[in-house]
């Protein structure tokens, strides 16, 4: 059972067998469900959680997939859902949105972060949510504290998005739209094609850690520029080699 | 006929039929060739061009694939090769090096920049080199002024490499080696895995334009950080939307 504000996506999801029934409204999709996953931007996630006590079926459990977790967990506790909610965040997806960006193997092998509300019942729900993700994606759920998650993701996900966007903005300001980019320039800017409204929400919901991470990368860029300006070949090689070692380490 | 300083690469290239004969030295590979393509880092390219009058067969023509073109064209003219050299730069390849990174379709459809030494004979050689790339890659040769090429590539190629490296260095400094990165973080940092020695040479050979481009991206990152710190949702969305429009434009 699914709902999307885009009717075209609902029709496509039905046709392809991703859902077996379409609802007329978000509540219509969720009302009789034993397990509800909210897959909407952060502000809509918070809003739907706040109203969930009014629509969530008795005994049903609720989860989400938002890229920030501390505000989500706080909202769930405030809404009295400590025993019925666990947050999740699958590290998957692309810059694409809607059903067109869906793939059968989207979650295969993905790391999925799971946050408990901290109560014994919440811990049980978190285990159920982890089992769901193991089933959906043969994926690897990792239990994590919500605040630790947000600081970590500021660096591993929100920062790369911010850097890709800033790079694209500076290329756009240089009026380079008509010229050719090789595979490197394309990959490095790919995230800039992501939904601006979604990412504005994520950056604001995780503003402190994201701003700090951006400052650190800005400092590294300053350092690189100084090495180039000083024609410091040895320093430059050492700087680049640090990045090479780090990036190769991700694939090990 | 090919040569590599890595014997393993030569054996693999022979086995796979990419070359039909192996030479014992760079000169052994080039001595009897009618057309020689230097595919080595910038400083080695410059050195081999300088010595080419001593080893290039009578009537043979010479080209290269370096990511910087102004110093290469200057060196070719200084070596007395204005009538026998044309520079080239295919926009292809990955962070990988050696025969293991070779693919039959590596150059298919790639844009290839071609630079003439500016003499009538040089223009003829440039047309020959363009035909070679059309044949090799069904690719699209574009004739370009060497200095214009270097300024453009500072933005479209050298800047993304510099940004990816700086991002990887800041992630490395944060000691995030053990944590999980999603597809976005992986793509944005992919170029950081490139050969540090090669890229140190490219940055130094194109230092002025690269430093200027880095400064502009640094300013965009500062602007993004200020919007986040000010919790300016409208400004943030407008900033990100500019990047989205630019990046989607690359795929049109």
User: Both B60 and B103 in a single domain?
Assistant: yes
Q: What are phi and psi of B67, to 5 degrees?
A: -80, -5
Q: Report yes or no: A84 and A60 within 8 Å, Cβ to Cβ.
A: yes
What is the CATH number for B79?
A: 3.40.50.720
> Do B228 and A243 make contact, defined as CB atoms within 8 angstroms?
no
User: Both B159 and B184 in a single domain?
Assistant: yes
Rounded to a whole number of angstroms, the distance from the CA of B34 to the nearest CA of chain A is 29
- Which of A130, A145, A160 is the C-terminal boundary of a domain? A145
Minimum CA–CA partner of A93 in chain B? B183
Inform me whether the C-beta atom of residue B27 falls under 8 Å from chain A C-beta atoms: no
User: Both A131 and A246 in a single domain?
Assistant: no
> Do A246 and B207 make contact, defined as CB atoms within 8 angstroms?
no
Inform me whether the C-beta atom of residue A236 falls under 8 Å from chain B C-beta atoms: yes
> Do B93 and A182 make contact, defined as CB atoms within 8 angstroms?
yes
> What are the residue ranges in chain B where pLDDT is below 70?
177-178
Rounded to a whole number of angstroms, the distance from the CA of A31 to the nearest CA of chain B is 33
SS (H, E, C) A133-158: HHHHHCCEEEECCHHHHHHHHHHHHH
Inform me whether the C-beta atom of residue B240 falls under 8 Å from chain A C-beta atoms: yes
Minimum CA–CA partner of B155 in chain A? A171
> Do B196 and A244 make contact, defined as CB atoms within 8 angstroms?
yes
Minimum CA–CA partner of B234 in chain A? A200
Q: Go through chain B and tell me how many residues it has.
A: 252
Q: How far is CA B136 from CA A180, A226, B4, B79, B248, in A?
A: 19, 40, 20, 28, 29
User: Both A193 and A208 in a single domain?
Assistant: yes
The CA dihedral of B21, B25, B27, B28, to the nearest 10 degrees, is -40
* Confidence (pTM): 0.87
Tell whether the model's pLDDT for residue A177 goes beyond 80: no
Q: Report yes or no: A119 and A92 within 8 Å, Cβ to Cβ.
A: no
> Do B91 and A180 make contact, defined as CB atoms within 8 angstroms?
yes
Distance CA B246, CA A172 (A): 6
Structure tokens belonging to residue A133: 């993700």
User: Both A165 and A139 in a single domain?
Assistant: no
Report angle CA B109, B112, B115 to the nearest 5 degrees.
160
Inform me whether the C-beta atom of residue B175 falls under 8 Å from chain A C-beta atoms: no
DSSP class of residue B57 equals P
Burial (CB < 10 A; 0-12, 13-18, 19+), residue B236, is buried
State the alpha helices, DSSP H only, in B70-206: 70-78, 120-137, 146-153, 159-173, 183-189, 196-205
Q: What is the pLDDT of residues B158-177, one digit of tens each?
A: 999 999 999 999 999 998 75
Q: What is the pLDDT of residues A54-76, one digit of tens each?
A: 999 999 999 999 999 999 999 99
User: Both B111 and B38 in a single domain?
Assistant: yes
Q: What is the mean pLDDT of residues A184-191?
A: 94
Rounded to a whole number of angstroms, the distance from the CA of A219 to the nearest CA of chain B is 8
Q: What is the mean pLDDT of residues A216-221?
A: 97
Distance CA A140, CA A133 (A): 8
Assess if residue A205 is contained within a domain.
Answer: yes
Would you state the pLDDT for residue A36?
95
User: Both A19 and A111 in a single domain?
Assistant: yes
Q: Indicate the residue of B92, B179, B244 with minimum beta-carbon distance to A156.
A: B179
> Do A164 and B243 make contact, defined as CB atoms within 8 angstroms?
yes
Q: Indicate the residue of A110, A163, A229 with minimum beta-carbon distance to B211.
A: A229
Q: Is B35 helix (H, G, I), strand (E, B) or coil?
A: strand
Question: Which residues, other chains included, contact B56 with Cβ-Cβ below 8 Å and sequence gap of 6+?
Answer: B30, B36, B62, B81, B84
Position A148 confidence tier, pLDDT thresholds 50, 70, 90: very high
Spell out which residues of chain B touch residue A100, defining contact as CB-CB under 8 Å.
none
Q: Indicate the residue of A172, A218, A244 with minimum beta-carbon distance to B193.
A: A244
DSSP class of residue B191 equals G
Distance CA B175, CA B113 (A): 40
| Number of other CB atoms surrounding residue B76 within 10 Å | 28
Assess if residue B246 is contained within a domain.
Answer: yes
Rounded to a whole number of angstroms, the distance from the CA of B29 to the nearest CA of chain A is 29
Would you state the pLDDT for residue A94?
79
Q: What is the mean pLDDT of residues A239-243?
A: 97
User: Both A141 and A27 in a single domain?
Assistant: yes
> Do B172 and A199 make contact, defined as CB atoms within 8 angstroms?
no
> Do A250 and B162 make contact, defined as CB atoms within 8 angstroms?
no
Distance CA B236, CA B96 (A): 36
191-230 of A, contacting B, C-beta below 8 A: 191-197, 199-200, 203-204, 207, 210-211, 213-225, 228-229
Rounded to a whole number of angstroms, the distance from the CA of A58 to the nearest CA of chain B is 35
What is the CATH number for A183?
A: 1.10.3660.10
Q: What are phi and psi of A45, to 5 degrees?
A: -60, -50
Q: Is B198 helix (H, G, I), strand (E, B) or coil?
A: helix
> Which of A24-28, A114-118, B50-54 is the least confident region?
A24-28
Q: Indicate the residue of B188, B213, B214 with minimum beta-carbon distance to A163.
A: B188
Assess if residue B2 is contained within a domain.
Answer: no
DSSP per residue over chain A, as a string? -B--S-HHHHHHHHHTTS-S-B-SSHHHHHTT-SEEEE-S-HHHHHHHHHHHHHHSPTT-EEEE--S--HHHHHHHHHTT-TTTBEEEEES---S--SGGG--TTTTTT-EEEEEE-SSHHHHHHHHHHHHHHHHHHS-EEEE--HHHHHHHHIIIIIHHHHHHHHHHHHHHHTT-TTS---HHHHHHHGGGGS-HHHHHHHHHHTHHHHHHHHHHHHHHHHHHHHHHHTT-HHHHHHHHHHHHHHHHHHT-
Distance CA B40, CA B65 (A): 8
Assess if residue A2 is contained within a domain.
Answer: no
| Number of other CB atoms surrounding residue A26 within 10 Å | 19
Spell out which residues of chain B touch residue A97, defining contact as CB-CB under 8 Å.
none
| Test the B interface: residue of A71, A142, A171, A222 with most B CBs within 10 Å | A171
Distance CA A136, CA B57 (A): 63
- Number of A to B CB contacts under 8 A, please give it: 312
Tell whether the model's pLDDT for residue A178 goes beyond 80: no
- Which of B109, B130, B145 is the C-terminal boundary of a domain? B145
User: Both B169 and B115 in a single domain?
Assistant: no
Position A29 confidence tier, pLDDT thresholds 50, 70, 90: confident
Q: What whole-number percentage of chain A has pLDDT above 70?
A: 99
Structure tokens belonging to residue A155: 């660096």
Question: What's the structural domain count of chain B?
Answer: 2
- What is the span of the domain harbouring residue A26? 7-145
Assess if residue B1 is contained within a domain.
Answer: no
| Number of other CB atoms surrounding residue B230 within 10 Å | 11
> Do B220 and A173 make contact, defined as CB atoms within 8 angstroms?
yes
Tell whether the model's pLDDT for residue A97 goes beyond 70: yes
Q: Indicate the residue of B166, B244, B248 with minimum beta-carbon distance to A224.
A: B166
Minimum CA–CA partner of A178 in chain B? B250
Would you state the pLDDT for residue B138?
81
């Amino acid at each position: 059972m699914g709902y999307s504000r885009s009717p075209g996506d609902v029709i496509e999801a039905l046709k392809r067998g991703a859902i077996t029934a379409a609802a007329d409204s978000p509540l219509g999709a969720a009302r009789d469900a034993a397990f509800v996953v909210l897959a909407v931007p952060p502000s809509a996630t918070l809003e739907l959680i706040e109203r969930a006590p009014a629509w969530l079926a008795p005994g049903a459990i609720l989860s989400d997939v938002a890229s920030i977790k501390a505000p989500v967990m706080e909202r769930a506790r405030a809404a009295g859902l400590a025993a019925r909610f666990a947050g999740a965040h699958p590290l998957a997806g692309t810059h694409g949105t809607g059903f067109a960006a869906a793939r059968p193997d989207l979650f295969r092998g993905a790391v999925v972060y799971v946050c408990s509300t901290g109560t014994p019942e919440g811990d049980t729900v978190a285990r159920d949510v982890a089992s769901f993700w193991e089933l959906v994606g043969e994926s690897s759920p990792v239990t994590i504290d919500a605040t630790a998650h947000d600081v970590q993701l500021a660096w591993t996900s929100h920062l790369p998005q911010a850097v890709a966007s800033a790079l694209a903005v500076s290329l756009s300001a240089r009026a380079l739209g008509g010229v050719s980019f090789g595979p490197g320039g394309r990959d490095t800017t790919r995230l800039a094609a992501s939904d601006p409204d979604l990412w504005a929400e994520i950056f604001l919901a995780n503003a402190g850690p994201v701003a700090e991470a951006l400052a650190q990368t800005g400092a590294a860029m300053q350092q690189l520029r100084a090495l180039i300006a000083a024609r410091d070949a040895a320093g430059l090689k050492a700087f680049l080699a640090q990045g090479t070692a780090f990036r190769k380490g991700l694939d090990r």
